């Protein structure tokens, strides 16, 4: 099932105020054909020791609940070159 990118964006907009209240933010980077959503945590969230917990228990859980087809959420800094060379990945522009 192909993930609707606009649905992902809309749900991230619902999540952002909670992150912004703690000085952080989240930016959508890409969505692949397997339902993997790549995001960049920004501000206070970037480099925070709790960022993996934020992704798993916050962003990923909510996206899986509200957007059909989302299978996981990963940090964008995993390996951008690998993502860019993957023909199944759609990279979004700002």
- pLDDT (tens digit, 9 = 90+) per residue, 48-61? 777 777 777 889 99
Q: Taking residues 12-37, what's their average pLDDT?
A: 92
- pLDDT at 81 > cutoff 60: no
Distance CA 17, CA 19 (A): 5
Q: Which of 13-17, 37-41, 47-51, 82-86 has the lowest mean pLDDT?
A: 82-86
Question: Looking at beta carbons, which pairs linking 45-50 to residues 24 or more positions away fall under 8 Å?
Answer: 45/19, 48/24
- pLDDT at 27 > cutoff 60: yes
Q: pTM value?
A: 0.76
């Amino acid at each position: 099932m192909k993930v609707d990118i606009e649905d992902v964006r809309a749900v991230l907009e619902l999540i952002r105020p909670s992150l912004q209240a703690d000085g952080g933010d989240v930016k959508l980077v890409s969505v692949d054909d397997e339902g993997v959503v790549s995001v960049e945590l920004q501000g206070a969230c970037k480099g925070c020791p709790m960022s993996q917990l934020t992704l798993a228990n916050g962003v990923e859980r909510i996206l899986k609940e509200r957007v059909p087809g989302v299978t996981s959420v990963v940090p964008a800094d995993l390996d951008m070159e690998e993502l860019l060379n993957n023909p199944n990945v759609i990279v979004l522009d700002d």
